[in-house]
Structure formats: C-alpha cells, structure tokens
Chains A and B, each alone.
Chain A
Amino acid sequence: MKRFIAAMLAATALTASAAFAQGTVTVVTSFSKDVTDPFKAAFEAAHPDYMLEVQNKNTNAGVQYLQETKANNQADLFWASAPDAFYTLKSDLLLAQFTPSVEGLPDKVGSYDVNDPDGFFFGFAASGYGIMWNERYIEANGLAAPAEWSDLKDPQYFDHVVMAAPSRSGTTHLTVETILQGEGWNDGWGTLKEVGGNFQQVMDRSFGVPDAVNSGQAGIGIVIDFFAFSAQASGFPVGFSYPSVTTVVPANIAIVANAPNHDGAATFINFLLSDAGQEVLLEPTIRRLPINPATYAKAPEGFPNPFEDDRFQAMIAFNGDLSSARTDVVDVLFDQLVTFQLDNLKAATYALHAAEAAMEGKDNAEAAALIEEARALIAAMPVDQDQAISPEITDAFTGGDNKTARQSELEQEWASFAATNYTAAKAKADAALALLG
C-alpha cells in the first residue's frame, strides 16, 4: 500500500512538471470550453510549434491567482471579458506592455476605447448588451417580448426579470454605469430601481442570467448578446433583442508581466487579432462580435455589426475616468439598495403597481399625490452625484486617509435608508389604493 501511494505521488508530480514543456503558452481565462477549444485548435494549426495550455478560472479567481503567484509567475496570458479585471491587474503592475503587429483595427467600438491607451491590454471582440427572453415562458405567462430598457419597468414583467449584480459582473457594471451616465445620476438610479422592482432575482455571476432564462426559471434576462446567440445556436427557445440604445463592451486579452513565454504570448495575441483568429469568433458556439471590421464580410446573414449599426453609435460618449472614480460606490449602492433589499423593493413596487392600476381613468388628487410621493421615495438616493466621487466616500472603499466612515458603516447607513424609504413607499401606495377603493 505504501509503495502504491508513493508511486501515485511520483506519477502526479511528473504530470505536474510535464505541463511546462517548450513552446507552451499558458493562458488564464474565464472563457468556457466552447470558446477556448476552437481557438486552441485554430492557433495550434496555424503555429504548430506552440501548444496552448488553458487554465480555466472565473474572472475573480483568475485575478486573485495572478496576484498571489506574481513572485514566480507561470502564466503568459490573461483572457477575459470584464474590463475592470484588467484595470485591477494593470494597477497592480501585473501586465506587460505590448504592441500588436496586426493593422487596420479600430480605436473605438461604440463609445468605448478598444485598447488600453497605455498598451497593457487589447480588445479582441465586442459584445452588446440586450434583453433575452424564454419564448415558452413568456407565452405561458402571457407576456409581450420586451424591446426597450424602459419596457422592463412595465408592471406585466413584475417578478419575471433577472440580471447579474454589477459587483459580481464587470460587464454588467459597465451597463449600469452607461445608464447612469446616459440618464444622469438621479434619473439613472430611478430607472434602475424601477426595473429592479420587477426583478425575480439578482444573480451572483454573469452566466447565471442566461442559465436561468435557458432553463425557464426566469422569463427575461439582461445579458450580453453572445450568451443569447450561443443559447440559440444550441437550440434553446430563447429570443434576444438589442434595445434602440445599447452599450457595447470589449472583451480583452493581455500579456502577464514576467511571462515565462512572452514570445508565445505575443504570437497568440497577434493570431487572435488576425483574420484567421477573428473568424473563429463567428463560430456558432462563440458568436462574439469581431473587433476587426473586415471580418464582418464573412459573417452570416443578420449578424450584428457594431461598426455600422446605428444602435451602437447612439450612445453618449462614455467617461471612463468618471466610471473608475466611482466604481466601488456604484457597486455597493446597487447591492445595498437593490440586491440585498430586493424583498422590500419588490413589496413597494408591487403596491405601487396596484395603486397605479386602480388610478387608471380615475381623478383623485389625494391618491395621485400619494402615488407620486411613493415613487419619489423609491427613487431617492442616499448620496448625490458629487458625494459619490468625493474622497470622503471613496476612501472608505480604498482605505484612504480622507474617509469619514468605514465601508461597513456606509453600507449600514445606505441599507437602512433604502429599507425605511421602501417601507414608507409601500405604506403610501397602500394608502392610495385604499382611497381609490
């Protein structure tokens, strides 16, 4: 028995060291097998002297992995969707600068910069945000397929909508930030909370949203397009539409600082951005929007093109500095006002919907005023636009010197603000309903 164990240990040790053969390019990625396998095959066919070793970790785990292993880094590339993960790695000095040799790539997709201005990471694909629904679900529940973001406020969608928490999904965070920049701080949060009142759940990972819609647990999800496209390609009865104003976000790749195989990493990025690499994105299981405009010539009928489609150009210019200045504040606000207060928010929203339905076609100034007050209570924010980027608040999240309260104290303050307001809003809406009898 002892000898058996010793032999097994020796065997496992051997397999561990074999992974670092010559010409191996190690990539840490959050992408699924469906995405990485075709790229691995295409890359190794184009460059037979290299072998792509895929280490699959979710985005957060990948970032933590690189942070913990920096002293003796073994990874060559980091490959994921969420831009904020790349910002974190860049500010931790964990990425290497690089200039791809591929030419003819655009600087912007929609309103976002494709590449990091300092050359630390590069967009290789784009994805638009939109609304995905389960055809069987909405038919069984007698719902109309939503077309616009504002449709999701409609009472008919109460308890049918799901979305990922921005604190858990970098791409969702960008969408929230885009709404806040497009509509302004107060109106933007008003929209988010009105839609939030219709949530069935707030998911803790991006893929949770399409997963719930695919299986029919939820009817409607706010998702990145490729989740819907690849679900359709797999045969799920789901529909998808881009709203007339949408956001498009780049998915990125970067070379890790002190990469053991820097040349191999560079070769892979250049391959990824080349025609051959970009075409892999069109595969049915991947279906991401290529960053190289020329590739769209080979795309199938009806494939969206963010470089020509007006919906992607309609966005206001995105202010990246503003976004990164208040990232933590926006995430925590969303969690404390929506995610962790979902029961209260939904109760208030339900009462409000009922009162508004009763108000239909009636003239009752008192009830109307109550409804208006309830609406204002739900929309109210504990911090305004200026406070959100003030050092007094932001330092609570970064541990800086200007903070006036610890993060936990702020969270408690915001949560009780929301809970009190939602409860009061429900009371007012109930009172209005009683008046309308």
Chain B
Amino acid sequence: MTNLAIGRLRSLRATPGQICVVLLIAAFLLAFLLVPTATVIYVAFTEKGTSTLTLVNFLDFFRNDLFVRSFWNSVYVSTLAVVWATVFALPLAVITTRFEFRGAMLIQTLGFLPLIMPPFVGAVAMQLLFGRNGSINLLLDQHFGIKLPFMDGLNGVVFVQSLHYFPFILINVSTSLRQIDSAMEEAAQNLGASGLRLFRRIIFPLAMPGYLAGASLVFVKVFDDLATPLLLNVKDMLAPQAYLRVTSIGLADPMGYVISTILIAVSIFAMWASVAVMKGRDYSTVQRGGGGLAKRKMRKGEAVLAYGVVTLVLLLVLSPHIGLLLLSFATIWSYSPLPDAYTLANYGRVLGESSVYIKNTLIYASVAGLIDVVIGGTIAYMVLRTKIIGREWLDWAAMSALAVPGVVLGIGYLRTYYGVTLPDGTPLATMSIMVIIALSVRRLPYALRACYAALQQISVSLEEAAENLGANKPRTVRRIVLPLMMGGVLAGFVTSFSTAAVELSATLMLIQSNSEAPIAYGLYMFMQSPAGRGPGAALGVIAVILVAVCTFASHYVIERSQKALGAKK
C-alpha cells in the first residue's frame, strides 16, 4: 500500500527529499492544528448529550434566523472591509515604493502598526476617541451639536476592521511592487503608456499576487475576528456568536462548534477562490533587476498632494495608538475630549514587571515567526513548484488555522497534550514550547501567504536555468529561489512576529505562571480593574514600541538588501 503510494508520487517527479519534507509538515499540522482542533470541534457533529453522529446541527444553523443573519452580516462586513482597506493601503504602498519619498521606510513601519494593537487597551483607546462619547463626538457635539456614529453597528465594525487590517494589503503590495523589474515599466513607457494607464495595465497587474494575498487575508481575518465586533458590541456576526457560545459555562452546546466549522469552511473557500482567480495567469517575470521599480521624483504639486494623502491616512490609522499613548499618560480620562491630567505613574507601576514580559514576548514571537517562515516558505514552494499529491491540502490545512478560534486551539492543546507528561510529571501542555507552537500555528497563514505571493512573482525559468547549469534542487533553492523571495519571507516573518507578540486568546489557556507570561497576558491582568487601565495602557505602549522597533529593523534590512542588489546591477 505504502509502496504503491510512494511509487505514484515518484511518477509525479517528486524526489524522496520532497516527500520527506511534505510528510514532516503534514505531521506538524496534524499534531498541532488538525488533531487538537478536531478533539474540540467534533461536538458539532454529535447530538447533544449523546455521542451519536449527526448533521442535524448544521440544518439547525440554516433554520435559525439569528445565525443566518449573522452569516450575511459577516460576509457584508468582510467585503466592505476589503474595499476600505484597499483605499487606505494602495496610496501608501504606491507612494512609498514608486516615488522618491522622504521617510518611506518610516511610513512603511508606521503603516504597519495597526496590526499590533494590543488586546483590551486598544479597544478602550478606540472608544475614547471614536466612541459615541469619545473625543471626536464630544467636540463635534460641543461645536456643531451633532454626533457621528463611527463605531455603531455593522458600519462601525467595517470602519475599525479596515483600519486594523489594511497593513496586510500594504505590506504584501509593497513587497510585490518592489519585486517588479523596472524594465517592464520602461518597456511600457517606450510603448507610450504613462500615468494611470501605466499603473492600471502594467504595474497593478504585476503586483496582483501581493494584492490578492493581502486582500484574501483581510477578508478571512475580518470574517473570523471576534475582538472588534465584541468591542463594538455587535453580536449578530458569526465569529462573536461562536465565541459567546463556546466560552459560556456549562455543557458544550454543539452550535458554537457548528459555527466554528462553518467559519473554517468559509475561510478555506475564500482562500481557494483567491487562488482560483490567479489560475492560468502568470505574473512571474524573468528579469530580477533588483532595486524594483524606478523611483520617480515628484513634481512640487504631486509632492504636496502625496504628503497630504500620506499624513491623512497615517493620522487616521494611527489614531488608536495616539489614543493609547494619551491613555498611558492619563490620570483620569472620562467623558472628556482629553484626559484630566498627565502622569508618569502608570509607567512606574509596570516598569518593574515588564522586563520579564518583554523577554518572553520576544522569545515566543521570534521563534514562532521563524517556524512560520520555514513552514510557510516550504509549503509555498511545494504548491507552486512541485506536483506532489496533497500539496494543496497542506496549503488549505495551514490556512484553516486562521479560522480556528484561539480558545478552541487552546482547549484542544490541553485536551491532546495534558495527559502526555515529561519524566518528572510535568504535563507537556504546560511547557512554554507549547505556547510558541500555538502562536506559530495561529500566525502561520500570514507567513504562508507572503511567501506564496513572493514565489509567484519568480519565473520558473530562472530555476530551470540553474538546473541546466548543473545545480541540484537544494542548491537551486538556496542560491536562486531563497535570495529572490527574501523580501516576501521577511514580510511574512514581520507579520507573523508582530501579530504573535500581541496574541492572547490561545495563550490565555496555556500560560502557567507569571514568569512565563508574554506582554498580552500582563495587559490582560491589568485591564480587569479600573485602577489597572493606565498601567495596562502603558504596557500596551511598550508592546507597540517593542514590535515597531523590530519591524523598523526588518524594513531597514529589506531596503538595504534591495539597494545592494540595485548597486550590483
């Protein structure tokens, strides 16, 4: 049986090494994503109170008005969030990569910050600024007697989500734009294209893999996100419905898990669709000029416009962080446009404890990010460059992590690994390596999509050329593929790293003691009491700065390597 299977794989030109790698990754996903999730989710397929298998719960889902309404609300919100995220992201991406623009790197970093909004405090800061009695509405009310419902209902969710997740598009499109060879642009210009037409017909299509990678992430992430709807108290969307049911005390109600299953199915469908759109189209280019697109100098009017747009977008997307910063220095901030007074006491309170949180966060997030780019890069390579059976399944399985609620994964880990003990009796599930693995599994989709997009832009002919010159597969990957997709790999690492640094839902289940807690957990402990709001915000600011510095550093590396490539040319 096994021989037969291997024989069939061979016939599809897979090397034993590739089969080994696929099996290893499959084992990893099976052990740390599929099995733990299945141990929790199977309830969806059983009749309540018994273990009889049934599909009646899914029938109930579609017969229940609340669930059906929630489903369409989630579709509506995710779609609009993609549209608005595109509106925020494209100008920033184009201006910073296509033009000589001072501070492009800073903007890339700042534009990335919304992704690293720490839990709880971010919510409070948003409400204080944009809520119905937030700063802006209080000021509007005072001066014009009106209030704008920024954060009410479904459109409020769209507003906050597109601010929150637009960096996915920004970072992926920017990376794609950098990969485009200037020769393509020059050729188009020689043929008479310029301005918008050049962008529409040449540049944007070439950056399409990056845009689709980002947009599909935004769609799925918004579809599966529960923090924002809960913050805005919008309960008739799918993810909050699943969460509210899964986390209520008492006997497991199958419907929570039914909804989780549907979330996973929709996520995989969206990913499949974004791949299907790309099918049959080739966006790779042979020339890897380096330096990316020629950077144009802006005319004076253009520069003013560009700086205006960039400032406006940045101000908007960074407003939660401005709110957070104010909150961290505030004494009391209640029903007023600005805090009553300012103090350093909040930082004083967290300073002593934060060093252990910072250390843990850095270790957890960076190891998780490394695991993610290694696995994500490998899966992307297997899908795009080999014909191994089941390679798409690896892709979809990894992407389904996006839709598995953190709390489900956390419980699944406890259920699967708590019984497994080390020789001294310590349960495997309580070791911090499990926290790292949980983080890496949850953030794997980000790295995977980034690597996938990067590889899509590289023409196979480059590898074929290398192989014709006598290089074997591993050597080709090491010397040709990896260097060419480095930008995408780094983008993936940065996304996985920074979002893992503020993740809480799965880790809350797995953290065993304060000495191994990451920043998000420390934040959570503060944010449960009125007196803890300021210190919590201070810890949040520390987390944001920490991640921002790391992000800035990796952008610096990307820029440097691009410049080095350009110089060689």
A residues neighboring B (CB under 8 Å): 5, 8-9, 11-13, 15-20, 30-35, 53-61, 63-65, 68-69, 71-72, 74, 82, 84-85, 88, 134, 136-137, 140, 167-168, 170, 201-204, 207, 210-212, 214-217, 227, 230-231, 233-238, 285, 327-328, 331, 339-340, 397-400, 406-409, 411-412, 415-416, 419
Contacts and interface: CB of A to CB of B under 8 A. Distances in A.
B531 A34 contact: yes
Contacts of B49: 398-400
A214 B427 contact: no
A69 B414 contact: yes
A342 B63 CA distance: 21
Given A19-B515, A61-B247, A399-B48, A35 B529 contact: yes
B251 A397 contact: yes
A91 to B, nearest CB: 10
Contacts of A11: 363
A394 B528 CA distance: 34
B335 interface: yes
Contacts of B50: 399
Name which of A167, A201, A217, A339 has the most chain B CB atoms within 10 A of its CB. A217
Contact of A211 (B124, B240, B513): B124
B375 to A, nearest CB: 14
Contacts of A204: 230, 233, 235, 240, 244
A430 to B, nearest CB: 22
B530 interface: yes
Most B C-beta atoms less than 10 A away, residue of A12, A17, A31, A235: A12
A409 B247 contact: no
Contact of A15 (B236, B336, B432, B527): B432
Contacts of A17: 424, 426
Contacts of B193: none
B355 interface: no
Contact of A60 (B128, B248, B430): B248
B66 A340 contact: yes
Nearest to B432: A12
A202 B247 CA distance: 17
A300 B53 CA distance: 60
Contact of B127 (A72, A167, A217, A230): A217
B335 A33 contact: no
A12 B433 contact: yes
Contacts of A327: 250
B559 interface: no
Nearest to A205: B230
A233 B233 CA distance: 28
B245 to A, nearest CB: 9
A72 B425 CA distance: 9
A74 B336 contact: no
Interface residues of B, number: 77
B512 A407 contact: no
Nearest to B258: A408
A209 to B, nearest CB: 11
Contact of A412 (B64, B244, B367, B509): B64
Given A72-B427, A412-B64, A32 B528 contact: yes
Contacts of A415: 64-66
Interface of B: 47-50, 56-57, 60-61, 63-66, 124, 127-128, 131-134, 230, 233, 235-236, 240, 244, 247-251, 253, 255, 331-336, 363, 367, 370, 407, 411, 414-415, 418-419, 421, 424-427, 429-433, 436, 508-509, 511-516, 521, 524-533
A341 B515 CA distance: 44
Nearest to B131: A217
Nearest to A5: B367
Given A71-B419, A399-B50, 6 more contacts: A19-B516, A53-B513, A88-B250, A170-B249, A233-B530, A399-B49
A212 B407 CA distance: 25
B336 A136 contact: yes
B334 to A, nearest CB: 5
B515 to A, nearest CB: 6
| A32, A55, A168 pick with most chain B CB within 10 angstroms | A32
A7 to B, nearest CB: 10
A285 B421 CA distance: 40
A13 B434 CA distance: 10
B233 A55 contact: no
11 contacts: A54-B514, A60-B249, A134-B335, A212-B127, A235-B331, A235-B332, A285-B529, A339-B235, A399-B50, A408-B61, A409-B63
Contacts of B424: 17
Nearest to B528: A32
A17 B433 CA distance: 12
Contacts of B426: 16-17, 20
Contacts of A212: 127
Given A15-B432, A234-B531, A328-B250, A202 B233 contact: yes
Contacts of B230: 204
A408 B509 contact: no
A15 B509 contact: no
A434 B431 CA distance: 68
Contact of A137 (B335, B415, B515): B335
A408 B255 contact: yes
B530 A398 contact: no
B128 A215 contact: yes
B249 A12 contact: no
B427 A68 contact: no
B103 to A, nearest CB: 32
The 4 A-B pairs of least Cβ separation, nearest first, read A399-B49, A216-B335, A32-B528, A408-B60
A71 B230 CA distance: 33
A189 B361 CA distance: 48
Contacts of B131: 215, 217
Contacts of B244: 167-168, 204
B236 A340 contact: yes
Contacts of A8: 363, 367
A55 B133 contact: no
Contacts of A409: 60, 63
Contacts of B511: 55
A69 B427 contact: yes
Given A13-B431, A19-B515, A74-B430, A68 B532 contact: no
Contacts of B332: 234-237
B48 A201 contact: no
Contact of B532 (A33, A72, A136, A339): A33
Contacts of B66: 340, 411-412, 415
Contacts of B253: 407
Given A16-B512, A61-B247, A234-B530, A408 B64 contact: yes
B516 A15 contact: yes
B247 A16 contact: no
Nearest to B39: A68
Contacts of A57: 508-509
A64 B531 contact: no
A285 B427 CA distance: 36
- Residue among B240, B331, B425 having the largest count of chain A Cβ atoms under 10 Å: B425
Nearest to B132: A217
Nearest to B426: A17
A61 B335 contact: no
